[in-house]
Homo-oligomer: A and B are copies of this chain.
Amino acid sequence: MRIECIAIGTELLTTRRLDTNSVWIAERLAELGLALHRKTAVGDDRADLKALVEEALRRSDVILCTGGLGPTFDDFTKEVFAEALGSELVEDAQCRAELEAWYAARNRVPSANNYKQVLIPAGAEPLRNPLGSAPGVWWRDPAGFPGRRIVLMPGVPREMKRMWADHVQPRLAALAGAPVHTLRMVVGGVPESTLDERTGPVRKKHCDLEWTILASLTHVEFVVRSGDAAALEAARADLAAELGPDLVCTGSGDLESTVLAMLKARGETLAVAESMSGGLLAARLTAIPGASEAFLGGAVVYSAGAKTQLAAVDPAVLAAHGTISEQTTEALATGIRARLGATWGLAITGNAGPSVDPQGDVERANPVGTCLIAIAGPGGVESRRFVVPGDRPDVQLRAAGWSLDWLRRRLV
């Protein structure tokens, strides 16, 4: 069975957006044991899209499209498919009702062009979009193309992913062969190249499985696939043994959800004080549903006043050692822990750049990339200093991730 993805949007052909949707879809297809044969990105141009759709209808059994379902002048995916298949667009009563309910729930009324979104090609089936106003389309055996499946989904990743889970995955699963099992393991605090070497023997021993290593700024992810669940379990056990405490979690979790779950299991709480990371650590923790069960809150101490007022840092410590110092970072961790009555206090200071005054004392002692992290807990307070590569967002993200991984190792 030949499957292709089509991503629609001029922004995908400029440097403004990467087509991450088709990469995500390729992953989901692989989980179903289905292969993607081609993926194409095309601009918001009727003629270009029409030509591509006509080719795709000739060569592929399943066509998975993202984008061009919105209300604006440059959204015409449904129109183009209807044209290519000689079908009419017909208003779907339920879609219309849901559109109006969607707007009513937000105390707004649809504008005229929103109603374009409730037009569905005759013979096709609308797919509900609980996260947006544009329904998708599932079109099976269109006239003249028996056996074809056409799937039109929104380009907004969160809407596409939800629609995939609710409607597309179950329909494609019916077409899939034997299921492919996927194992995901997240590793913290170890560089990819080191992991690559350390896990070489395990991967060699289980070389009949499909291995992928995905590195990010805060962690490394192993994704292993096989049709043989027992072989996958054997690989998991060997990899877990090799990784030891470096293994953050197995399955769908991440560093944040793992630390929050560990704290919750221990009946402990966390408070943070962030200077250089500016709230990023708190934001990543509170992105996890139920974070409030273990995370009490924190302070973004972007000024001297904030450090003394919110995290109870002694002005004398600040004056004596400066912001980017072990002493101030430890005082922040201790201060926010006491202020919020938390089991653990985590603090981050440093220099994320860009370099403002390379000749200045501060930068000579604390070059761009300098991270100081401190953990205050029942056993007292300690701090670490390290320098990481990358630009401002990289440094902030690494500091947030590494501080969290350090706390995780304390909780193991």
- Give chain B nearest CB distance to A66 CB in angstroms: 15
Residue contact B305 to A296, C-beta cutoff 8 Å: yes
Residue contact B23 to A196, C-beta cutoff 8 Å: no
Residue contact B302 to A299, C-beta cutoff 8 Å: no
- Give chain B nearest CB distance to A194 CB in angstroms: 6
Report if A358 contacts B (CB, 8 A). no
- Which chain B positions have C-beta within 8 A of A131? 389-391, 394
Counting chain A residues whose Cβ lies within 8 A of the other chain, the interface size class is 35 or more
Q: Contacts A14-B36, A23-B18, A303-B292 given: A72-B213 contact, CB under 8 Å?
A: yes
List CB contacts (< 8 Å) of A3-41 with chain B: 10-20, 23-24, 26-27, 30, 35-41
Question: Closest chain B residue to A52 by CB distance?
Answer: B38
- Give chain B nearest CB distance to A284 CB in angstroms: 8
Say which one of A43-51, A77-85, A89-97 lies at the interface with B: A43-51
Dominant secondary structure at the A interface: mixed
Residue contact B340 to A388, C-beta cutoff 8 Å: no
How long is the Cα–Cα vector from A70 to B195 in the complex, in angstroms?
13
Residue contact A306 to B297, C-beta cutoff 8 Å: yes
Chain multiplicity (copies): 2
Question: Closest chain B residue to A197 by CB distance?
Answer: B111
How long is the Cα–Cα vector from A215 to B341 in the complex, in angstroms?
42
Report if A171 contacts B (CB, 8 A). no
Residue contact A114 to B193, C-beta cutoff 8 Å: yes
How long is the Cα–Cα vector from A399 to B386 in the complex, in angstroms?
34
How long is the Cα–Cα vector from A113 to B17 in the complex, in angstroms?
37
Report if A295 contacts B (CB, 8 A). yes
Report if A223 contacts B (CB, 8 A). yes
Report if A158 contacts B (CB, 8 A). yes
How long is the Cα–Cα vector from A194 to B70 in the complex, in angstroms?
12
- What is the 8 Å Cβ interface bit string for chain A, positions 371-387, against chain B (1 contact, 0 not)? 00000000000000001
How long is the Cα–Cα vector from A15 to B214 in the complex, in angstroms?
9
Q: Contacts A203-B73, A394-B131 given: A193-B111 contact, CB under 8 Å?
A: yes
> What are 10 A-B interface contacts by the 8 Å CB criterion?
A15-B27, A15-B30, A17-B214, A39-B41, A71-B192, A74-B211, A158-B393, A271-B306, A272-B300, A300-B300
Excluding A39-B40, A286-B300, 8 further A-B contacts by CB distance (< 8 Å) are A70-B192, A106-B388, A110-B193, A111-B196, A278-B291, A279-B282, A279-B285, A298-B300
